[in-house]
Amino acid sequence: MHREKEVLLKIRNAQTYFPVQKGLLKRTVGHVRAVDNVSLDVYRGETLGLVGESGCGKTTLGKSILQLVRPTGGEFIYNFDGQEKDLRKLSNEEMMQARKRLQIVFQDPHSSLNPAFTIFGSLQDPLKKFGIKSKEERKQIIGDLLEAVNLRREYMHRYPHEFSGGQRQRIGIARALSLGPELIICDEAVSALDVSIQAQVLNLLLELKEKHKLTYIFISHDLSVVEYMSDRIAVMYLGKIVELAQAEDLFANAMHPYSQALLSAIPVAEVGRKRNRIVLEGNVPSPVDPPPGCAFHPRCPYAMEMCKTTVPELRKHIIDGREHHVACHLTDARAVTTQKTS
């Protein structure tokens, strides 16, 4: 199914570590492994959902792709109209040019817009930078953008505090769209919104995707929202991807014990669907000092001896002719045909 699809972004063994410093001399005593050996392909035109609990590294992965956080290692190969380049190796000037294609919508619409600038002031900077000299033209473009996100043109002369949360989030989306990007990373883009507004923004994102042929990486902790938006979903735990599959497959047949627990923990707004919840014991371990072997083994109901020593690799399983990537020794033991991802 994916064979004909074009890979837009190829991530290989991405690592983003943050140093932990201690004492007077700020000696580095360890690293927070926020993103730890993540390999992933993003296809053109798809929506890739990224889910996991707080602190699992999903936001850091998103920011690492944009080089907003400098990754420690790995490759981020982006397909510039057929020409593949590693984003990590670009010069600042080249990266600046690349940002035309890669954009982000942040979680908190209150802090991601400058309160001292009007909307026009905030949105015109990138246009200026990329060569639209006449103010009239910029006004025209920003007006069109605001209309594209269902806001009125006149709103460009207002300040952020004059808008509601949902409207501000739409301005954030308009800003991301302003340079005609290919890939937009939506980092918890609807989490701060009330439910009735959330649906408006979700539908807007879907519409824009169709219209502008966008690719999304949709980061959220809310699985029902991710399911509604995504073609494929990657589940992260402690800096690693533990499962990656088509959205339908993941929800119908989650294979990693963590994904199973995560799915069962979500309350569903339907009467009589009180399923057997798998309640996990304990907490997420610290990413500074992750447990050896599989990071999930201290909480895993099926943990075996092997899980305590050997790190499971993300392997491709073919189930009913469809790809399903899982990093678990248990599924490896069960499956007949496995193949290491990349």
Partner 1 sequence: MDTILTVDNLHINFYTNNRCNEAVRGVSFQLKKGRTLCLVGESGCGKSVTASSIMRLLPPLSRIEEGEIIYHTDQGDLRLHELDPNGPEIRSIRGAEIAMIFQDPMTALNPVYTVGFQIREAFMYHTKMAAAAMKEKAVELLRSMRIPAPEQRVNEYIHQYSGGMRQRAMIAMAMACNPQILIADEPTTALDVTVQAQIFDLMNDLQREHNAAILLITHDMGVVAELAHDVVVMYMGDAVENGPVEEILTKPAHPYTSALLRSIPVLGQSKSQKLEPIRGSTPDPYNRPKGCQFRPRCDFATEKCLQDPETFDVSADHTVKCWHWEKVLANA
Binding residues for partner 1 (CB under 8 A): 53-54, 164, 166-167, 194-200, 202-203, 221, 223-225, 227-228, 247-248, 251, 261-271, 273-274, 277, 279-280, 282-284
Write out the two tokens for 178: 């302003």
CA distance 46 to 126: 26
Residue tagged 């918890």 (tokens): 188
Spatial distance between the Cα atoms of 205 and 224, rounded to a whole number of angstroms: 16
**Structure-block tokens of residue 277:** 């919840």
Number of helices (H), then strands (E), belonging to the chain: the values are 11, 13
| Shortest CB 250 distance to partner 1, Å | 10
Cβ proximity to partner 1: between 124 and 198 the closer is 198
Closest CB 280 distance from partner 1, rounded Å? 5
Measured from the CB atom, the residue of 131 and 267 that comes closer to partner 1 is: 267
Q: What are phi and psi of 197, to 5 degrees?
A: -85, -35
CA distances (Å), origin 113, targets 110, 138, 177: 6, 18, 15
Q: Is 46 or 335 the residue whose CB approaches partner 1 more closely?
A: 46
* Rounded distance between C-alpha atoms, residue 65 and residue 103, angstroms: 10
Spatial neighbors of 257 by CB under 8 A, at least 6 apart, are 296, 300, 301, 302, 328, 330
> For the packed helices 165-177 and 195-212, what is the interaxial angle rounded to 10 degrees?
20
Q: What is the CA radius of gyration of the chain?
A: 21
Smallest distance, partner 1 to C-beta of residue 300, A? 12
Least spacing, CB of residue 188 vs partner 1, in Å? 13
Q: How many CB atoms lie under 10 A from the CB of residue 200?
A: 16
Give CA angle at 28 (27, 29), nearest 5°.
105
User: Left if phi > 0, otherwise alpha if psi is -120 to 50, otherwise beta: which for 247?
Assistant: alpha
Walk across the sheet containing 7-22 and list its strands: 27-43, 7-22, 73-80, 83-86
Whichever of 57 and 71 has its CB closer to partner 1, that residue is: 57
Smallest distance from the beta carbon of 182 to partner 1, in angstroms? 22
Minimum Å distance from CB 263 to partner 1? 7
Residue 71 or residue 239: which is nearer to partner 1 going by CB? 239
Is the Cβ of residue 80 or residue 228 nearer to partner 1 in the bound state? 228
Q: Closest approach of Cβ 89 to partner 1, in Å?
A: 36
**Least Å distance between CB 213 and partner 1?**
18
Instruction: Please say which residue, 13 or 164, places its beta carbon nearer to partner 1.
Output: 164
Identify which of residues 65 and 223 has a Cβ nearer to partner 1 in the complex: 223
